[in-house]
Amino acid sequence: MIVDLEPTDDQRLIAESVGGMLAASLPVARLREASGNGAQPENALWSSLAELGLFGMGLPEEKGGFGYGLPEEMLAARELGLVLASPSVLAQMAAAHLADDGLRPAIMSGEARCAFASLGFDGTVWLYDGDAASHVVLLGDGAALLPRDAFGNWTAQVPMDETITLANAIAAGDLPARDNVAERISLLIAAATTGIAQAATAMAVDFAGQREQFGQPIGSFQAIKHSCADMAVRAAAADAQVRYCAITFGRTEDDRREIAAARWLATDAAIENAKANIQVHGGMGFTAECDAHLFLKRAHLFSALGSSRREEERRIIADAD
């Protein structure tokens, strides 16, 4: 199998139009004041995101989609990661693949609203940014789309990432087994997570070129320069793997392990790059005022969406049992 990983002109255009819209309306700086407000800016934008075609992007035309494929959808997901968009935007994209014919139009129009929830070890379900949601995309080994009220009462909790809202409930029933749709959703999460890793790298590089100590930009010191180079390498590795999976999905026997690898690499890149970005910023990096911590918290949140590095390791190696 031969794959070309460079975006086509058409794909570049899609990434640019989604990215441009997001950068203009959801600058990362919005999150500085967001404490406790959850996804309000995203909520206000929901119908524009629907009009942009984001929520049905990867669906075939007979299902009302644009006839784009996973590569286009993956590029859009990466753009969401770059601006730290609420996980609910991605949940809405995921829901379009899980919904039945009856519900799908409402998902694509944004009328029904979705949010991600993860199944914890003890059966607790954790809901992210789900205040405005009518439906929940529940992620464990498999994935399911359920009405938000299927879980009874949600109890509000205080999240590590205070730019989203968090609530928990007790799981209702079993999740379906992992299938192709769950794999596809996992790849989209990996793409968004890669976006987080790329954005953290860009922020570190930008600061390292400007901040001066000892009469020179700190980026001229190798400890900092090499840390930035390693960030770029981790992000590039995750990005290449995610793009590779987006093209080969459904065409090999190795989807499961290739996607698990993508997810592992993306999580690793996002968390490690976010940590390195804090260190590059020095004292400023430890403050609430500096955006660096936002990347760390969001990276951890995305790593826990129905997954963890440990679980992905199990999937990567599973066929070797």
Partner 1 sequence: MKLIEDPSLDRFRDECRAWLNDNVPRNARPSEGLELRAYDMAWQRTQFEGGWAGVSWPKAFGGRGLSVLEQLIWHEEYARAGARTSASMFVALSHAGPTLIVQGSEDQKSRHLPAILKGEETWCQGFSEPGAGSDLAALKTRAVIDGDHLVVSGTKIWTSYAQGADYQELLVRTDPDLPRHRGISWVICDMTLPGIEVRPITTMTGYAHFAQIFYDEVRIPMTNLVGQLNGGWGVAMTTLGFERGTGTIAHQIELANTVERLITTAKETYDRATGKSLFADAAVASRLAVLRAEVAALRSLTVASVSRGMREEIPGAEGNIPALYFGELTRRVNGAVIDLLGPGAMARGGSHNLPKAYLESFKWAIGGGTSEIRRNTIGERVLGLPKGPRAI
Nearest distance in Å: CB 272, partner 1: 13
CB closer to partner 1 out of 127 and 238: 238
CB closer to partner 1 out of 168 and 227: 227
Nearest distance in Å: CB 263, partner 1: 9
Listed in sequence order, the residues at least 6 apart from 129 whose beta carbon sits closer than 8 Å to its beta carbon are 38, 39, 42, 86, 87, 88, 115, 116, 164, 165
CB closer to partner 1 out of 264 and 302: 264
CB closer to partner 1 out of 59 and 265: 265
Nearest distance in Å: CB 225, partner 1: 4
Alpha carbon distance 209, 185 (integer Å): 37
Interacting residue ranges for partner 1, rule: CB under 8 A? 1-8, 11, 71, 75, 205, 208-209, 216-217, 219-222, 225-226, 228-230, 232-233, 236-241, 243-244, 246-248, 251, 257-258, 260-261, 264-265, 310, 312-314, 316-317, 320
Q: Is 213 left (phi over 0), alpha (psi -120 to 50) or beta?
A: beta
Side chain identity at residue 269, one-letter code: A
Side chain identity at residue 284, one-letter code: M
- The CA angle 222-226-229, to the nearest 5 degrees, is 145
Nearest distance in Å: CB 291, partner 1: 19
DSSP 76-96: HHHHHHHTT--HHHHHHHHHH
Nearest distance in Å: CB 312, partner 1: 8
Q: What is the largest CA-CA distance in the chain?
A: 64
Is 109:117 a contact under the CB 8 Å cutoff?
A: no
Listed in sequence order, the residues at least 6 apart from 68 whose beta carbon sits closer than 8 Å to its beta carbon are 14, 57, 58
Alpha carbon distance 258, 137 (integer Å): 23
CB closer to partner 1 out of 32 and 211: 211
CB closer to partner 1 out of 23 and 317: 317
Listed in sequence order, the residues at least 6 apart from 96 whose beta carbon sits closer than 8 Å to its beta carbon are 55, 56, 57, 58, 59, 65, 104, 107, 108
Nearest distance in Å: CB 151, partner 1: 32
Alpha carbon distance 107, 135 (integer Å): 9
CB closer to partner 1 out of 112 and 262: 262
Nearest distance in Å: CB 7, partner 1: 5
